Amino acid sequence: MSALATDPAFVDGATVEVDEVSVWFGPKVALSELSCSFGPGVTGLLGPNGAGKTTLMRAICGLIPTRRGQVSVLGVDPRADRDVHARIALVPEEDAVPEALTPRQLVRYRAALTGVDDRDAVDRAIAQVALTDVADRRLGGFSKGMRQRAKIAATLVSDPEVLVLDEPLNGADPVQRVALIELFQRLGAAGRTVIVSSHVLHEVERLADRVIVVVHGRLAAAGSHRAIREAMADRPRRVLLRSDDDRALARSLLGLEPVVSVELGDIGLTVATKSAAELALALPRLARDHDIRLREVRALDASLESVFAEVTR
Amino acid sequence: MTALALRRFPALLGYVPRACLPPRRLAVLALPCLTILASGLLARAIEGRATAGFADAAGLGIFGLAMPLGALVIGDAVLGAEVRAGTFPFTWLSPVRFPELVLARWLGGWLLALATLVPCAGLAAVLTGAPSLAWSVIVASAAGAAAHIALFVLIGCVTRRAAVWSLAVVFVVERLLGAVLSGIAQLSPTWQGRAVFAGLGDLRDLRRSGIPEGWDAVVRLGLITVACLALASLGLRRLQLTGARD
């Protein structure tokens, strides 16, 4: 699949390869001929509810079989090769945990199953998610966020090469969210393949180097969120401009070729443009020629939310 | 088994009582245990016929109802309930081989049955005043529970509604069809358990033609157990863990 590395859906040195995968449950098609790959670093998996993100993650881990196509993780089929499960891990979205266990017991259990001999690994994994103080309390009394962290600790104990995290930030408080994002970024920077799905898009924007967007079980877009946005050049981009004379600026902007529309509002001018790059080049010259002082130039739709809204439209 | 498999087997086994059988499920398990003891006490009411009374109580109450339901509570807890709850991926997503996993879950469940249901059956014989049958009922209930739990583990591996299907197997297949078709009774842990008891206790009233008795029935139950566990391993290979919400 390396020949396809110029396609943003694929990466060189892929550890996870999804090749023409289709999955359906009765009449419902969950994934349809989806192809993409994942490599070291953090990749965000985005899509609306029911898009097929969880199905894709479960197929990657071998929890569900593919009806067509193939999934390869670290070079093998995760459904056929049991040994590879010592090197991959999944944090499921649902907050189901063995409620009678403590986080320490759960992490120890996972350590034993995956053949981890290092006794300190359990304590380290628990400390990484800041559960040391409650490591001997039963999971049944934990909040959703604490359960998520316990599950993450259970996956981290085996130091997996591929980490699949389905909405891992659900229920986490703001402080923990930041800590977990930093943890995932460290893992990605350390060469682990981290695949994260989340509905909190701005967090994925902060977290992921690369985004895969899945809509209706199909690949809708791939690449960095900026690259995805650039690829949709036929759709106007919106830029907010503030100056010392917004009316004069609006008049002068209407003569520019890339400008589609200009809207004068309370906080400034909202400009729709076919090319943000061309507008950025033209603006300083325009301001100088008309003696206008620019106070703010801000892209309104470069965020992942707008990209997501565009591709799922 | 490899050295690694031997090292992780105690963890797999230890997980069963700790995680699969929370206090609430153990409380449910108390019901069949109490039913078994109540069967013994009821049989005691039949004056002068302790052996025959206990044989009747064991045939109908213990092997016909309490043991299958007790084994169902355990057998469903060790696998089917985990699949339904969505916690099974913690175990499935590991290098553990399926036969190893199935064996550990079954053994954990069977040990629990040996610690709860089986002593109750022996105690029921003593309570009735037929201590001579205690050994027979202990062997029969232990062998029957082994096969029943293996059967329920198998059901947990092949269907998501394991508890419903397990109940259907006990009441429709074993009780209803097994009562009239000896071919089904020969493969039924309920009827085979009863046949072990009838043979070892030399209880003519419980005998049924065309079905092995005593130790022959123990061997039959052993074969049923092995077959169920082998099929359960194959079932795990095909299992779809779609998540608790699906």
Mean pLDDT estimate for chain B? 89
Q: Is B245 on the interface with A (CB under 8 A)?
A: yes
Please tell me whether residue B95 adopts helix, strand or coil conformation. coil
Measuring CA to CA, which residue among B87, B60, B84, B76 is closest to residue B112? B76
Residues of A in contact with B93 (CB under 8 A): 61-63, 85, 88-90
Q: Does residue B9 lie within any of the structural domains?
A: no
pLDDT band at B130 (very low <50, low <70, confident <90, very high): confident
More confident residue, A3 or A6: A6
B200 — phi, psi (to 5°)? -70, -35
Residue A5 in this model has a pLDDT that exceeds 60: no
Q: Which of B110, B124, B131 is nearest to B63 (CA)?
A: B124
pTM above 0.90, yes or no: no
Name the pLDDT band for A94 (thresholds 50, 70, 90). Answer: confident
Q: What distance in Å separates residue A51's CA from the closest CA in chain B?
A: 14
Residue B8 falls within a domain, yes or no? no
In angstroms, the separation between the Cα of residue B170 and the nearest Cα of chain A is: 28
Q: How confident is the model at residue B241 (pLDDT cuts 50, 70, 90)?
A: confident
What does the DSSP 8-state code read for residue B48?
A: T
Average pLDDT, whole number, for chain A? Answer: 87
Q: Please tell me if residue B243 touches chain A, with a CB cutoff of 8 Å.
A: yes
> Looking at the DSSP assignment, which residues form a beta bridge with residue A29?
A24
Assess whether pLDDT exceeds 70 at residue B243.
no
Among the listed residues A57, A83, A27, the one whose alpha carbon sits nearest the alpha carbon of residue B242: A57
Give the model confidence (pLDDT) of B24-37 as tens digits: 888 999 999 999 99
**DSSP classification of residue B22:** -
pLDDT score at A205: 80
Name the closest residue on chain B to residue A163, using Cα atoms: B93
Mean pLDDT of A79-99: 90
How many angstroms away from the CA of B61 is the closest CA of chain A? 32
Chain A residue with minimum CA distance to B83? A96
Longest Cα separation, chain A = 73
CB contact under 8 A, B22 and A99: yes
- CA gap A303, A7 in Å, rounded: 22
CB pairs under 8 A between A and B: 94
Q: pLDDT tens-digit profile of B191-236?
A: 999 999 988 888 887 888 888 888 999 999 999 999 999 999 999 9
Q: For A5-30, give one letter per residue: b (16+ CB within 10 A) or e.
A: eeebbbbeebbbbbbebbbeeeeebb
Q: What is the pLDDT of residue A162?
A: 96
Interface predicted TM-score (ipTM) over 0.90? no
- Cβ–Cβ contact B160 with A under 8 A: no
Per-residue confidence (pLDDT) for residue A165, from 0 to 100: 94
Residue A304 confidence (pLDDT): 56
CATH of A231-311, one of 3.40.190.290, 3.30.70.920, 3.40.1390.10, 3.40.50.740: 3.30.70.920
Chain B: give the shortest CA distance to residue A113, in Å. 6
B2 assigned to some structural domain:
no
Contacts of B2 in chain A (CB under 8 A): none
Question: Hey, are the CB atoms on A98 and B87 less than 8 Å from each other?
Answer: yes
What's the mean pLDDT in A70-87? 93
pLDDT bin (cut points 50, 70, 90) of residue A231 is low
Q: State pLDDT tens for residues A139-185.
A: 999 988 899 999 999 999 999 999 999 988 887 888 888 888 999 99
Asked whether residue B121 carries a pLDDT value surpassing 90, the answer given is yes
- Alpha-carbon distance of A106 to A100, in angstroms, equals 10
Question: Is the pLDDT confidence value at A4 over 50?
Answer: no
Residue B177 lies in domain: 15-238
% chain B with pLDDT above 70: 97
Vertex A54: Cα angle to A51 and A58 (nearest 5): 135
Domain total in chain B:
1
Q: Which of B12-26, B111-125, B203-217 has the highest mean pLDDT?
A: B111-125
Is B135 in a helix, a strand, or coil?
helix
Q: What is the CATH topology of the domain spanning A2-228?
A: Rossmann fold (3.40.50)
In a domain, B105, yes or no: yes
Neighbours of B5 (CB within 10 A): 15
Point out which residues pair with A42 in neighbouring strands.
Answer: A194
DSSP classification of residue B239 = -
**What are the sequence ranges of the domains in chain A?**
2-228, 231-311
- Which pLDDT value is given to residue A309? 65
Is it the case that residue B153 has pLDDT exceeding 50? yes
- What length does chain A have? 313
- Burial, A1: exposed, middle or buried (Cβ in 10 Å; 0-12, 13-18, 19+)? middle
Rounded Cα distance between A181 and A183, Å, is 5
Residues in chain B, overall count: 246
Task: For residues B128 and B38, give the distance between their C-alpha atoms in angstroms, rounded to a whole number.
Answer: 10
Predicted local distance difference test score (pLDDT) of residue A1: 45
DSSP-derived secondary structure for chain A: -GGGTTSTT--TT-SEEEEEEEEEETTEEEEEEEEEEE-SEEEEEE--TTSSHHHHHHHHHTSS--SEEEEEETTB-TTT-GGGGGTEEEE-SS----TTS-HHHHHHHHHHHTT---THHHHHHHHHTT-GGGTTS-GGG--HHHHHHHHHHHHHTT--SEEEEESTTTT--HHHHHHHHHHHHHHHHTT-EEEEE-S-HHHHHHH-SEEEEEETTEEEEEE-HHHHHHHTTTSPEEEEEEES-HHHHHHHHTTSTTEEEEEE-SS-EEEEES-HHHHHHHHHHHHHHTT--EEEEEESS-SHHHHHHHHT-
In a domain, B165, yes or no: yes
The better pLDDT of the pair A256, A137 is held by A137
pLDDT of residue A276: 75
Nearest to A54 among B91, B95, B243 (CB): B243
